[in-house]
Amino acid sequence: MSFVNFKKREVQFKIVYYGPGLCGKTTNLQVIHRLINPEARGDLTSIATAGERTLFFDFMPLVAQAIEGYQTRFQLYTVPGQVMYNLTRRLVLRGVDGVVFVADSQWSKMQENVESFANLEENLQLQGETLQTLPHVLQYNKRDLPDVAPVHYMEFMLNHGAVRQSSFPAVATTGEGVFEALNMVARQVLHKFMIVHSRKEEGVRELALV
């Protein structure tokens, strides 16, 4: 949930990377950590098994100048993709402001992508959220592999709602499509925040995007 601290002049948002096991969620955070200016990010914390599967979550804070006079913090999280960790996914999703849904482009993973997307919708509903109002983007990852489905097929499977969401082909290992997806979800999150807060009588009217 977005959080404003007027005293410290700080605004905080939570962005969650969601998707099936091994689709590349942790790799997204790793490449952001590697490529971004170190002054703009904190440490990457990963709670994983020896086999590098996410056990609880990965976490990394980013700092941006997005709202005039305020420090804007984006807290990036990943969920564990393995089906058995659904309770953990629900915990990580609490108070989410925006989602990057990472799909694995390989033909063999299409069913898992669809199931994970349905699982996201179900878990959001349990906390009174819905993808209809929650900022989110799709990332079609692993485009470098040989046996991948065409982007239009993935759109047909995962992006067929009334409103077409932004989607990005990606190769998370190199960073291709990673910042594009993050920038877009961050923009959507900020946009929603400004709309919601400009309606409230909290003295937040002074907030303005940079």
Q: Token pair for residue 162?
A: 């009334």
Q: How far apart are CA 33 and CA 44, in angstroms?
A: 7
Minimum distance, C-beta of residue 28 to ligand GTP, in the bound complex (Å): 7
Closer by beta carbon to Mg ion, 25 or else 89: 25
Q: How far apart are CA 79 and CA 18, in angstroms?
A: 6
- Residue by residue, DSSP assigns 34-87 as HHS-GGGB---EEEE-TT--EEEEEEEEEEEEEETTEEEEEEEEE---SGGGHH
Cβ–Cβ < 8 Å for 142, 106 = yes
**What string marks each residue from 49 to 88 as x (binds Mg ion by CB under 5 A) or -?**
-----x----------------------------------
Number of Cα atoms under 13 Å in the Cβ half of residue 143? 17
Regarding 23 and contact with ligand GTP (CB under 6 A), the answer is yes
Regarding 120 and contact with ligand GTP (CB under 6 A), the answer is no
Regarding 142 and contact with ligand GTP (CB under 6 A), the answer is yes
Segment 157 to 186, residues that bind ligand GTP, using CB under 6 A: 171-173
Regarding 30 and contact with Mg ion (CB under 5 A), the answer is no
Residue recorded with tokens 């984006």: 74
**What string marks each residue from 107 to 136 as x (binds Mg ion by CB under 5 A) or -?**
------------------------------
Minimum distance, C-beta of residue 85 to ligand GTP, in the bound complex (Å): 8
Closest residue to Mg ion, judged by C-beta, is 54
Looking at 1-9, 20-28, 90-98, 131-139, which segment touches ligand GTP (CB under 6 A)? 20-28
Closest CA to 206 of 35, 69, 7: 69
Regarding 119 and contact with ligand GTP (CB under 6 A), the answer is no
Neighbours of 52 (CB within 10 A): 11
CA angle in degrees (0–180, nearest 5) for 164-186-209: 115
52 binding partner (options ligand GTP, Mg ion, none; Cβ < 5 to 8 Å by kind)? ligand GTP
Residues of this chain that bind ligand GTP (CB under 6 A): 19, 21-27, 52-54, 78, 80-82, 141-142, 144-145, 171-173
Residues of this chain that bind Mg ion (CB under 5 A): 25-26, 54
